[in-house]
C-alpha cells in the first residue's frame, strides 16, 4: 500500500542524531524480514543491532547460505518424534563414511611408525635424527596449507564435500607413491610434505559439516564418534602391518612398501565414495526430502549459524585474531599435540625398544592404543550427554570432560615416565595416553559451537590447526636419538604439555561461563528489542556481534 511505511524507516526517523541506541526508550517495536532480493547484497543494510559489548552492528543481505531455506522454513511444525527420526536418518547416511575417512587419515599417520619397525629406516639408510624429520615433514605440509591456501580454497568453494573428496584421492595417490622402489630419503620427505598438504583440510571440513546438521548440544557426541574412529585406524593399520610383516618372505617387494600401497588404494576408494555420497551442504542432501531440508534449518536455528558464507569477510578474520578464545585454543593445541606428534611416530619404536618386544610383538601390542581411543571417545561423549540431561554440576559441561581426559593423560604420562620397576605399569600408562584425544575433541566441538561467522570459523579453525601442525611437527624432535630407548626427555615434555592443557581448558570454561552471565545481565537491562529481525540466526554474524548467542560450555 502506498501509504504504508517501512518499519525500518519508522525507527530510523524516530531517533534523533544526538541519541545513541542505548539511550533511546522503546518508541516502537517492529519486525524486519529478509526477502529474496536482500540475499547476497552486502551493501543492503536492513537494520542495526547492539552487540553484547554495546557496538552497533550492521545487519546486511550478505547472509548465510541457509537463509534461502529459512525464508520458507518457519511455517514448518516439527514434532519431537519427527526430529528424532530426522537425526537418526542424518546419522545413518552421514556417519559411516565420515568415520571411515577419519580412520583412514589416522592410518596413514601411524603407517610411518609401523613401516619404521618393518625396515623402512634401514632400506632408506636413515641415521641420526632423520626418522624424526620424516614425522615432522608431514606437518610442514599441514602447516603451510592451513596458513592460507587451504582456508581460501575451502571457504570459497560451494562444493565443500566434493572439494574434500578430490583432496582425499590426491592424498591416497601420494601415499601409494611412498612405495616406489627407487625412492630415496629426500623424495620420501617431499612426499610426506605433499601428503600433509592434501590431508590438512579433513578436520576443519568435518567441523563445518558437524555444525551444518547437528545442534550445539549434539555436536560433542558426534565429534567424539568420528574422531574416535582414529582408534579403528590404529587397530586396522597395525593389524595390516602385522599380517604383512609375518608373511614378508612371500612378496617380491618389502612388506612396508605394500603397506603404503594398500593404505593408499583404500584412501582413493573412500575419496571416490565421499565425492558421490556426502552432500556439500544440507540444501543439496540427496537423501533428504524438501520438508526435511526445511526441518534441518529449523533444528540448527538455535546454533545461530547455518551452512556457510562464501564471501571472505576481513573484519571477521581480524576478530578471530583478537579473540582470547582463539589463543586459548592455540595454547591448548600446543600442549595436546606435541605429545601426539611424538607418540604417532614413536609408539611402535618405544614399545619395541623400551619394553623389549620383538617387531611382530610390538605391532600387536600397539593395537590396544587404538582400542582405548575407539572406546574412550564415544564413552566420554555419551557420559557428557547423560550428565547434561540430568544437569549434574560441573559434569554437565563438555569442557569438564575435556579437563578430566587431560588429567588422565597427566596420570598416564607419570606412569610411563616414572614406574621404572614395573613394565606393566608403564605399558598401562602408555595406553592411558590415548584418552587424551577426548580433550582435543572437546576443543574441536567448542570451536564448532562457539565460533560464529563463517570467515571467523574458518580462521579460528585454521589458527588452531596451524598450532596442531606446528606442535605435531615439534613432537618427534623431543625423541632425541641419544636418549633411546627410554627417551626420558620426551616423557618429561609430555608431562609438562598435558599439565598445560588442564590449565587452558579450565580458563576457557571460566571465561565462557562468565561471559554468558554477563550477556544475560545485559539482555535483562536492555529489555525487549526495538527491532526484531527475523532469521537473525542466519545473518552470518559473529559470536561477539550476536546478542542472542550464548557460549556452549
CB 223 within 8 A of CB 368: no
Helix (H) or strand (E) run with residue 60 in it? strand 56-60
Within a domain: residue 58?
Answer: no
Host domain of residue 196: 80-520
Domain assignment present for 483: yes
Q: Is residue 537 part of a domain?
A: no
Distance CA(541)–CA(451), nearest Å, equals 10
Question: Considering its fold, how many domains does the chain have in total?
Answer: 1
Report pLDDT for 286.
93
Short-list 317, 543, 513, CA closest to 398? 513
The set of residues, in sequence order, having a beta carbon less than 8 Å from that of 319 and lying 6+ positions away, is 453, 456, 542, 544
pLDDT computed for residue 36 by the predictor? 66
pLDDT score, position 15: 35
Alpha carbon distance 199, 484 (integer Å): 30
Does a structural domain hold residue 84?
Answer: yes
pLDDT at 12: 40
| 31 DSSP β-pair partners | 532
Q: Within a domain: residue 4?
A: no
Q: Which three cell numbers stand for residue 355?
A: 619394553
211/307 Cα distance (integer angstroms): 8
Residue 18 burial (CB count, 10 A)? 6
User: Residue 339 — φ and ψ, nearest 5°?
Assistant: -65, -40
Q: What is the pLDDT along the chain (553 residues), one digit of tens a residue?
A: 444 444 344 334 433 344 443 344 444 456 676 766 666 666 677 778 888 888 888 887 777 777 777 777 777 778 889 889 999 999 999 989 999 999 988 887 778 778 887 888 888 888 877 887 887 788 888 888 877 687 778 777 888 899 999 999 998 999 999 888 888 899 999 999 999 888 888 888 888 888 889 988 888 889 888 888 888 888 888 888 888 888 888 888 888 899 999 999 999 999 999 999 999 988 899 999 988 988 888 888 888 887 777 788 889 999 999 999 999 999 999 999 898 878 877 777 778 777 778 878 877 888 888 888 889 999 999 999 899 989 999 999 999 999 999 999 999 999 888 877 788 888 888 889 989 989 998 998 899 889 998 889 888 988 888 888 888 888 888 888 888 777 888 889 999 999 999 999 999 999 999 999 999 999 888 877 666 777 787 888 899 988 888 998 8
**Position 505 in a domain:** yes
Element (H, E) at 47: strand 45-50
Q: Are 150 and 198 in contact (CB under 8 A)?
A: no
Exposure of 310 in the CB half-sphere (CA atoms within 13 A): 13
Residue 513 confidence (pLDDT): 95
Kindly state whether residue 430 falls inside one of the protein's structural domains.
Answer: yes
Three-class secondary structure of residue 58 per DSSP = strand
Residue 224 lies in a domain: yes
Q: Is the peptide bond before 485 cis (omega within 30 degrees of 0)?
A: yes
Handedness of CA 507, 509, 510, 511 (dihedral sign): positive
Strand partners, 532: 31
- We report the CATH number of the domain holding residue 205 as 1.20.1250.20
DSSP string covering 201-231:
THHHHHHHHHHHHS-HHHHHHHHHHHHHTHH
Amino acid at each position: 500500500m502506498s501509504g504504508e511505511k517501512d518499519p525500518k524507516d519508522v525507527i530510523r526517523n524516530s531517533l534523533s542524531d544526538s541519541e545513541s541506541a542505548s539511550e533511546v526508550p522503546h518508541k516502537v517495536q517492529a519486525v524486519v524480514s529478509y526477502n529474496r532480493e536482500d540475499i547476497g547484497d552486502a551493501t543492503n543494510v536492513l537494520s542495526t543491532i547492539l552487540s553484547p559489548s554495546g557496538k552497533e552492528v550492521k545487519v546486511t543481505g550478505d547472509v548465510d547460505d541457509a537463509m534461502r531455506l529459512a525464508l520458507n522454513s518457519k511455517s514448518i511444525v516439527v514434532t519431537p518424534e519427527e526430529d528424532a527420526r530426522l537425526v537418526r536418518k542424518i546419522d545413518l547416511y552421514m556417519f559411516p563414511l565420515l568415520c571411515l575417512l577419519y580412520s583412514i587419515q589416522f592410518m596413514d599417520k601411524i603407517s610411518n611408525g609401523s613401516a619404521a619397525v618393518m625396515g623402512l629406516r634401514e632400506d632408506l639408510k636413515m641415521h641420526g635424527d632423520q626418522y624424526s624429520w620424516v614425522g615432522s615433514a608431514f606437518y610442514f605440509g599441514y602447516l603451510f596449507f592451513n596458513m592460507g591456501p587451504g582456508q581460501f580454497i575451502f571457504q570459497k568453494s560451494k562444493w565443500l564435500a566434493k572439494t574434500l573428496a578430490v583432496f582425499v584421492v590426491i592424498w591416497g595417490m601420494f601415499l601409494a607413491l611412498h612405495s616406489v622402489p627407487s625412492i630415496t630419503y629426500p623424495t620420501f620427505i617431499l612426499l610426506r610434505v605433499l601428503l600433509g598438504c592434501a590431508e590438512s583440510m579433513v578436520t576443519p571440513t568435518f567441523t563445518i559439516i558437524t555444525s551444518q546438521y547437528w545442534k550445539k548440544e549434539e555436536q560433542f557426541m558426534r565429534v567424539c564418534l568420528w574422531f574416535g574412529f582414529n582408534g579403528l585406524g590404529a587397530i586396522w593399520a597395525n593389524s595390516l602391518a602385522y599380517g604383512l610383516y609375518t608373511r614378508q618372505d612371500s612378496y617380491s617387494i618389502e612388506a612396508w612398501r605394500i603397506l603404503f600401497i594398500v593404505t593408499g588404494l583404500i584412501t582413493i576408494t573412500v575419496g571416490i565414495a565421499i565425492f558421490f555420497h556426502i552432500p556439500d551442504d544440507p540444501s543439496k542432501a540427496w537423501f533428504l526430502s524438501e520438508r526435511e531440508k526445511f526441518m534441518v534449518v529449523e533444528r540448527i536455528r538455535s546454533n545461530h549459524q547455518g551452512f556457510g558464507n562464501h564471501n571472505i569477510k576481513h573484519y571477521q578474520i581480524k576478530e578471530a585474531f583478537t579473540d582470547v578464545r582463539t589463543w586459548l585454543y592455540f595454547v591448548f593445541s600446543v600442549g595436546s599435540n606435541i605429545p601426539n606428534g611424538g607418540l604417532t611416530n614413536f609408539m611402535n619404536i618405544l614399545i619395541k625398544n623400551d619394553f623389549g618386544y620383538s617387531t611382530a610383538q610390538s605391532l600387536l601390542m600397539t593395537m590396544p592404543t587404538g582400542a582405548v581411543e575407539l572406546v574412550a571417545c564415544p564413552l566420554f561423549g555419551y557420559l557428557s550427554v547423560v550428565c547434561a540431561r540430568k544437569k549434574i554440576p560441573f559434569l554437565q559441561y563438555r569442557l569438564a570432560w575435556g579437563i578430566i581426559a587431560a588429567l588422565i593423560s597427566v596420570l598416564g604420562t607419570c606412569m610411563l615416565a616414572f614406574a621404572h620397576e614395573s613394565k606393566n605399569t608403564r605399558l598401562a600408562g602408555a595406553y592411558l595416553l590415548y584418552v587424551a584425544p577426548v580433550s582435543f575433541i572437546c576443543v574441536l566441538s567448542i570451536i564448532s559451537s562457539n565460533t560464529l561467522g563463517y570467515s571467523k570459523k574458518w580462521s579460528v579453525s585454521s589458527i588452531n590447526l596451524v598450532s596442531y601442525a606446528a606442535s605435531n611437527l615439534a613432537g618427534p624432535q623431543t625423541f632425541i636419538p641419544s636418549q633411546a630407548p627410554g627417551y626420558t626427555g620426551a616423557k618429561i615434555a609430555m608431562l609438562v604439555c598435558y599439565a598445560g592443557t588442564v590449565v587452558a581448558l579450565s580458563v576457557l570454561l571460566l571465561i565462557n561461563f562468565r561471559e554468558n552471565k554477563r550477556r544475560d545481565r545485559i539482555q535483562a537491562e536492555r529489555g525487549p528489542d526495538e527491532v526484531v529481525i527475523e532469521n537473525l540466526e542466519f545473518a552470518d554474524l559473529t559470536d561477539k556481534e550476536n546478542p542472542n548467542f550464548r557460549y556452549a560450555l
